[in-house]
Structure 1
Amino acid sequence: MRVLVGGGTGFIGTALTQLLKARGHEVTLVSRQPGPGRITWDELATSGLPSCDAAVNLAGANILNPLRRWNEAFQKEVLSSRLETTQMLAKAITKAPQPPQAWILVTGVAYYQPSLTAEYDEDSPGGDFDFFSNLVTKWEAAARLPGDSTRQVVVRSGILTHALEANHVQGVLNGVAPASTTTNAAFAQALGAALGRPAFLPLPSIAVQAVYGPERAIMLLEGQKVIPRRTLAVGYQYSFPELEAALKEVVA
């Protein structure tokens, strides 16, 4: 298929692009910056949708950018960066002589389990795993976030690919792992085990709140239990449904 990916130069978008190409699909990115295999958002608005069989939108400002204060201006940017890109793609699809057969939108503002992946701004570099693994190497400890009730899970680009390739997939899919969600303390222990390091270095809540502010800190200190019931029902098979196996694979 010919797949158009908005925000495809971010962390999740890069993984999705690599997977799509490995499966024989042709990928065109929509990005702020021009380049090989890309079109810009301005070009999309002026020239319309390039010929494609499917379109995906992953674009959006990084809500957990520690360099940005959580004020009204940044809150509007977080929202508008998602709404405006989606509206631009939807308008281009509506006007296209041959619209794509599949249209996938990654909605919501979420933060995924630390050390595996995170929501990243378009054109930004990799995920949290480098940060956490470097911290572990330096201190010989697996850093963990406070709050044993935290339940955060992993988004997998494979779910997006499955939704694109399977004609019967419609509606909302939760992009999370099927195993029971875990606390950050348990996550830190599993990460420490995978790295061969003890997990004894807690990160105080006050430090998280100082960097991100009370409202954004909630995303790291608290969470929701999400079950991918429909994702499993449509036939998606997880490569690493369990946390321990996933961490060992990432570390390896």
Structure 2
Amino acid sequence: MRVLIGGGSGFVGRELTRLLRDKGHEVTVISRQPGPGTITWGELESHGLPPCEGAVNLAGENLMNPLRWWNEGYKNDLFSSRIDTTKTLSQAIAASSSPPHSWVLVSGVACYKPSQTAEYTEDSEWTPFDLLSKLVKEWEASALLPENVAKTTKQVVIRPGAVLGRDGGAMKQMLLPFWLGLGGTLASGRQPFPWIHVSDLAGIIAQALEPAADAPPALPQVFNGVAPALNTNYEFTKELGRVLRRPTIFPVPGFVMNTLMGSERAVVLTQGQKVIPKRTLESGYQYTYPDLTSALKQIVGS
């Protein structure tokens, strides 16, 4: 299978590329910079979709970029980097004389309203309620294919939680306080913390790229890209401290997170949702890291 990956040079993209190539697939990355095995977004727009059986979009400005101050310019970049690239890819697929059999968008669980009691599956209805949920709404809408193309191209949306791994993702932000000797819960610690190991997210995407056995449904299939374990921030922090053999006695108040990160962005860490991968489990996907202990031990090398 030939797979085209938008944002394939990023943290998740590198893991997905490695997995697909290990399986014998051919990968082409869409990047802002030209290089071996890559095309640029400009080339995609001018030359159209290269021959491929699967397409994925992972492109987007890092929400947790510690070098970017939370302001209007950064918010605009978050929207444009996701929506514009997704539109470019979906339009290229729609215009192709031979569209791929699978088109996968990776968005996020920010569509689900934070709650300590509500449980969300892929079938849960939702409407935008803040900036990030509005982003997810517009992002996923930009991926929709015309009806005539959707008859042959399977559309999939995967909504991951915090992505954990050795080389990046949410672990950079979560580990820093521990290395400074300030490890502790964020805000109350009672907020749910939906997460997934990067290897499992790559595995779910790879499975979603497989051709449909029957005619694909008109609307995208949604899969929650989270581990089946339902953990709170407190549980995550305590387990991370245990694996690192470091104390977890210095909680970070919510107002500090809001001040440092901006309240609209800090909500990702100070609040959370109980997200259940119901359809992901029903699909038969077997998690490599279904629980915190196995995931964190692999990440920190214990």
Q: Between the two proteins, what is the percent identity of the paired residues?
A: 47
State the alpha-carbon separation in 2 of the partners of residues 67 and 248 from structure 1: 28
The answer to whether structure 1 residue 237 and structure 2 residue 265 are counterparts is: no
The answer to whether structure 1 residue 179 and structure 2 residue 236 are counterparts is: no
CA separation of 1:201/1:23 partners in 2, compared to 1, >3 Å: closer, same or farther?
farther
Structure-to-structure mapping, 1:20-35, within 5 angstroms: 20-35=20-35
SS at match of 1:185: helix
Between 1:207-216 and 1:49-58, the stretch displaced more is: 207-216
Structure-to-structure mapping, 1:157-172, within 5 angstroms: 157-165=202-210, 167-168=212-213, 171-172=221-222
Please state how far the C-alpha of 1:142 moved relative to its aligned partner: 3.6
The answer to whether structure 1 residue 126 and structure 2 residue 168 are counterparts is: yes
Name the aligned partner's letter for residue 222 of structure 2: V
- Pairwise CA RMSD: 2.4
CA separation of 1:95/1:54 partners in 2, compared to 1, >3 Å: closer, same or farther?
same
State the alpha-carbon separation in 1 of the partners of residues 10 and 300 from structure 2: 21
Structure-to-structure mapping, 1:63-212, within 5 angstroms: 63-108=63-108, 110=110, 112-113=161-162, 116=164, 126-130=168-172, 132-133=174-175, 135-139=177-181, 142-155=183-196, 156-165=201-210, 167-168=212-213, 171-180=221-230, 182-212=231-261
TM-score (norm 1): 0.87
State the alpha-carbon separation in 1 of the partners of residues 34 and 236 from structure 2: 39
State the alpha-carbon separation in 1 of the partners of residues 187 and 211 from structure 2: 40
Please state how far the C-alpha of 1:75 moved relative to its aligned partner: 2.1
Between 1:37-46 and 1:183-192, the stretch displaced more is: 183-192
Number of residues of Structure 1 aligned to a counterpart in Structure 2? 243
Please list every run of 5 or more consecutive structure 1 residues that lacks an aligned counterpart in the other structure.
119-124
Q: Give the structure with the higher percent strand.
A: 2
State the alpha-carbon separation in 1 of the partners of residues 238 and 162 from structure 2: 14
TM-score (norm 2): 0.73
Partners of 2:161 and 2:225 within 8 A in 1: no
Structure-to-structure mapping, 1:37-48, within 5 angstroms: 37-48=37-48
CA separation of 1:166/1:134 partners in 2, compared to 1, >3 Å: closer, same or farther?
same
Q: Deviations over 1:116-171 (max 9, x none)?
A: 259xxxxxx733435644653452x6443222232222242111111113635860
Please list every run of 5 or more consecutive structure 2 residues that lacks an aligned counterpart in the other structure.
111-159
